[in-house]
């Protein structure tokens, strides 16, 4: 049976092609805000990190009413590192809006998210966005999209996709590129006409699959999902079936549907609607809620395996516990286990009581978790990211990425040489409009660790790089990682301008005068390979001809400000990143210089 009063769609696209902006305008034009209400841009990106980085990290639900039809909308991330967010919502929707930039055309993540949608047999509506750009080329982009659909083996119905031309920023859509722009109604009409209404027997026994987990400090965990069959009532008893084939009788304490950006408490909800349910403490992503009369769980969509891992360790540096609120192994374990409840592409293994192996989709996936935890008051240390290898028939396999690079022609030779040193193979080269060249490589995931900062340096910030997971291939051999050593502090104390002036002759500094340091802490990068121990706390010997104020005349080069991503790319296997709410400190695993050198000699001999 069709529920004609509902449509469930997800908005998918490459990073920065306008998904969240489009949702903003749909909400504003649907009358959910007062005319004089101050509405921030990208209102769906409610997370602080999402606003700062300009990307969507978590899939989010909203809804609008158009011509008495409720349209449930899920805004999804565009970055492949958060692909788990896309994969888990395909059970919640019946169609997708595929947004594509009118100039850039299909990009790496466009292929990634579209493949997930087509595999789930969802109906697509293509939106060519940013048609108001001066360099827009919408007709060519449509041809490129058709090639992409064919390449991804879309069926005949999916190939016959409707196209809408739009400017999400300006808030209009049109079916004819030459038509006069008005508002977003042409897009809404296309959704109603082409996205199928949800199917299911409204009179049947309850079956609802949970695709997302939210949390509220007052009511606890909230499961978000779609009712596949039947109806659900507040205070109703149901059977919760989890992915481990366990069944538990539960009670629906509170029931919500989405109205604009808010959850609205309701007494009943019916087939096809997206609901939020509270009162079930152990509800998880992938669980199915069934009626007591018929227990019929749904198999959950498979999630791609993680490809990158790092160890999260209890901080044991001399400055441990000075800046964090949550510093113990129990705090660290509880927080990581709580992350697993909503982050479906993450894996956590306990290596020891004080060390946990955390695996994710990529460096960005893990760095967002690290940054979130430090903002919550957690203090810990992490190891260098490393790829997850597999063994099949005694053959060592490693993850391979398809790397897409767009650079001005003058930098292409440098980039090709640099990627080649990291075992990357050039697969395609294409001249674009102007003097820009598009390069496509296949490169081991190991080769991408630490490459982004080198890439920005090589292209003087003018290059764009994206990559998507390709598969597993036989191990490609050794890849040379960082070719420069570290400047390591020799003693505890406060960094002094005189000591820093002597150290900067050896390389580039990461700290400035007045910073507290400890023996074994990395304070800069050596100009050459190999580590050098420096005394940045050294003071000038005072005599009757030397005054302490003479230090003021020393010229120090401004230190390199290391972001979280820079730090993760910099550290080697024998180094750690100390993470606190206030600081990021690079350090050696073994702080004592003598023991460190003795250990290194033993490793060389073995």
In a domain, 404, yes or no: yes
Which of 257, 290, 323 lies at the terminal end of a domain, its last residue?
290
Is 20 annotated as a binding-site member?
yes
Of 240, 270, 247, 273, which is closest to residue 259 (Cα–Cα)? Answer: 273
Tokens standing for residue 144: 């490129």
Over residues 359-370, mean pLDDT = 85
For the stretch 402-451, pLDDT in tens is 898 888 889 999 999 999 999 999 999 988 766 788 899 999 988 888 78
pLDDT value for 535: 94
In a domain, 481, yes or no: no
Question: Do 185 and 103 lie in a common domain?
Answer: yes
Question: Do 277 and 418 lie in a common domain?
Answer: no
Question: Do 212 and 89 lie in a common domain?
Answer: no
Question: Do 383 and 402 lie in a common domain?
Answer: no
In a domain, 393, yes or no: no
Asked whether residue 30 carries a pLDDT value surpassing 80, the answer given is no
For the stretch 251-286, pLDDT in tens is 998 898 888 777 888 999 999 998 989 888 788 878
Over residues 321-349, mean pLDDT = 89
In a domain, 1, yes or no: no
Q: Kindly report the average pLDDT of the chain as a whole number.
A: 84
Query: What is the Rg, in whole angstroms, of the alpha carbon atoms belonging to the chain?
Result: 27
Backbone φ/ψ region at 482: left (φ over 0), alpha (ψ -120 to 50), beta: beta
Question: Do 422 and 458 lie in a common domain?
Answer: yes
Please give the residue range of the domain that contains residue 545: 486-568+586-605
Helix, strand or coil for residue 89? helix
Question: Do 112 and 257 lie in a common domain?
Answer: no
* CATH code of 501's domain: 2.40.50.250
Which of 258, 290, 322 lies at the terminal end of a domain, its last residue?
290
Question: Do 17 and 113 lie in a common domain?
Answer: yes
- How far apart, in Å, are the Cα atoms of 508 and each of 170, 450, 497? 46, 18, 14
Of residues 508 and 57, more confidence is placed in: 508
Question: Do 30 and 158 lie in a common domain?
Answer: yes
Is 21 annotated as a binding-site member?
yes
Question: Do 367 and 417 lie in a common domain?
Answer: no
In a domain, 303, yes or no: no
Is 414 annotated as a binding-site member?
no
* CATH code of 413's domain: 3.30.70.240
Helix, strand or coil for residue 133? coil
* CATH code of 346's domain: 3.30.70.870
Is 130 annotated as a binding-site member?
yes
Eight-state DSSP code of residue 551: G
pLDDT value for 322: 92
Is 131 annotated as a binding-site member?
yes
* CATH code of 262's domain: 2.40.30.10
Residue 426 β-bridge partners: 441
Can you list the pairs that 502-509 forms with residues at least 24 positions away whose Cβ atoms lie under 8 Å? 502/534, 502/535, 502/538, 503/534, 503/535, 503/536, 504/556, 504/557, 506/532, 506/534, 507/532, 508/557, 508/559, 508/560, 509/556, 509/557, 509/559, 509/560
Q: What is the pTM of this model?
A: 0.75
Over residues 141-154, mean pLDDT = 91
In a domain, 546, yes or no: yes
Q: Give burial (CB, 10 Å; 0-12/13-18/19+) of 233.
A: middle
Count of domains forming the chain? 5
Which of 430, 447, 474 lies at the terminal end of a domain, its last residue?
474
Question: Do 121 and 178 lie in a common domain?
Answer: yes
**Confidence band (pLDDT; 50, 70, 90) for 163?**
very high
Is 246 annotated as a binding-site member?
no
Question: Do 130 and 25 lie in a common domain?
Answer: yes
**Confidence band (pLDDT; 50, 70, 90) for 188?**
very high
Question: Do 349 and 456 lie in a common domain?
Answer: no
> Is there a contact between 232 and 255 (Cβ–Cβ < 8 Å)?
yes
Is 18 annotated as a binding-site member?
yes
Is 383 annotated as a binding-site member?
no
């Amino acid at each position: 049976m069709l529920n004609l009063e509902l449509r469930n769609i997800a908005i998918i696209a490459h990073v920065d092609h306008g998904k969240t902006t489009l949702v903003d305008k749909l909400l504003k034009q649907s009358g959910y805000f007062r005319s004089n209400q101050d509405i921030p841009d990208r209102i769906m990106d409610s997370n602080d990190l999402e606003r700062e980085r300009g990307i969507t990290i978590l899939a989010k639900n909203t809804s609008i009413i158009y011509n008495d039809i409720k349209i449930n909308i899920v805004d999804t991330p565009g970055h492949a590192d958060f692909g788990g967010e896309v994969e888990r919502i395909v059970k919640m929707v019946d169609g997708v809006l595929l947004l594509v930039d009118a100039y850039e055309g299909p990009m790496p993540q466009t292929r990634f998210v579209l493949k997930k949608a087509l595999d789930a047999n969802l109906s697509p509506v293509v939106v060519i966005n940013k048609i108001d750009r001066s360099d827009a080329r919408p007709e060519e982009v449509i041809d490129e999209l058709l090639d992409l659909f064919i390449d991804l083996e879309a069926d005949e119905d999916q190939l016959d996709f409707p196209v809408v031309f739009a400017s999400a920023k300006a808030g209009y859509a049109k079916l004819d590129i030459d038509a006069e722009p008005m508002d977003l109604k042409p897009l809404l009409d296309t959704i109603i006409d082409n996205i199928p209404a949800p199917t299911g027997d409204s009179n049947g026994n309850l079956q609802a699959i949970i695709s997302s987990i939210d949390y509220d400090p007052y009511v606890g965990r909230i499961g978000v999902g779609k009712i596949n069959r039947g109806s659900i009532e507040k205070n109703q008893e149901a059977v919760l079936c989890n992915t481990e084939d366990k069944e538990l009788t539960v009670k629906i304490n509170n029931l919500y549907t989405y109205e604009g950006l808010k959850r609205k408490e309701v007494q009943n909800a019916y087939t096809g609607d997206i609901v939020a349910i509270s009162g079930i403490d152990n509800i998880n992503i992938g669980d199915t809620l069934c009626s007591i009369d018929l227990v019929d769980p749904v198999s959950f969509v498979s999630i791609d395996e993680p490809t990158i891992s790092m160890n999260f360790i209890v901080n044991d540096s001399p400055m441990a516990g000075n800046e964090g609120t949550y510093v113990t192994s129990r705090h660290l374990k509880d927080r990581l286990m709580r992350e697993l409840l909503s982050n479906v592409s993450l894996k956590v293994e306990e290596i020891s009581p004080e060390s946990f192996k955390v695996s994710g989709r990529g460096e960005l996936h893990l760095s967002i978790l690290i940054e979130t935890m430090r903002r919550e008051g957690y203090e810990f240390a992490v190891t260098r990211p490393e790829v997850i290898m597999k063994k099949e028939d005694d053959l060592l396999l490693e993850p391979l990425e398809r790397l897409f690079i767009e650079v001005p022609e003058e930098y292409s030779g440098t980039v090709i040489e640099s990627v080649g040193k990291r075992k990357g193979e050039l697969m395609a080269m294409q001249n674009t409009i102007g003097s820009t060249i598009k390069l496509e490589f296949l490169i081991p995931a190991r080769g991408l660790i630490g490459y982004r900062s080198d890439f920005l340096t090589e292209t003087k910030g003018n290059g764009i790089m994206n990559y998507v997971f390709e598969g597993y291939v036989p191990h490609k051999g050794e890849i040379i990682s960082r070719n420069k050593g570290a400047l390591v502090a020799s003693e505890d104390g406060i960094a002094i301008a005189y000591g820093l002036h002597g150290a900067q002759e050896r390389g580039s500094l990461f700290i400035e005068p007045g910073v507290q340091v400890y023996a074994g802490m990395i304070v800069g990068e050596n100009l050459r390979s190999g580590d050098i121990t420096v005394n940045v706390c050294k003071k000038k010997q005072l005599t009757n001809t030397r005054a302490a104020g003479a230090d003021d005349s020393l010229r120090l080069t401004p230190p390199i400000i290391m972001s979280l991503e820079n730090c993760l790319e910099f550290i080697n296997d024998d180094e750690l990143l100390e993470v606190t709410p206030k600081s990021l400190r690079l350090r050696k695993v073994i702080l004592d210089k003598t023991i460190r050198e003795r250990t290194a000699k033993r490793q060389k001999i073995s």
